[in-house]
Amino acid sequence: MSDLFKKLPSEIKKNKLKTGIFLGLSTYWAIIIFGTLIQFN
């Protein structure tokens, strides 16, 4: 279990770019979808 916690920071650093892109796109699409729903209402 402790090995997992030691490896976790390096995994997060490696995946930071992927995570950033994923979060950015998710936020972008969420804003578009919410904006569309608000306009239709």
Dig out the tokens for 9 from the structure. Answer: 């920071």
Q: What local confidence, expressed as pLDDT, does residue 1 receive?
A: 53
How many angstroms separate the first and last alpha carbons of the chain?
Answer: 50
Q: CB under 8 Å to 35, separation ≥6 — which residues?
A: none
The whole-number pLDDT of residue 24 equals 92
Task: Tell me the Cα Rg of the chain.
Answer: 17
Print the domain residue range for 5. 1-41
- The total domain count for the chain is 1
Give 1-41 pLDDT, tens digit per residue: 567 667 767 776 777 888 888 999 999 999 999 999 988 76
Query: What pLDDT is recorded for position 25?
Result: 94
Q: In the chain, where does DSSP find H-type helix?
A: 2-40
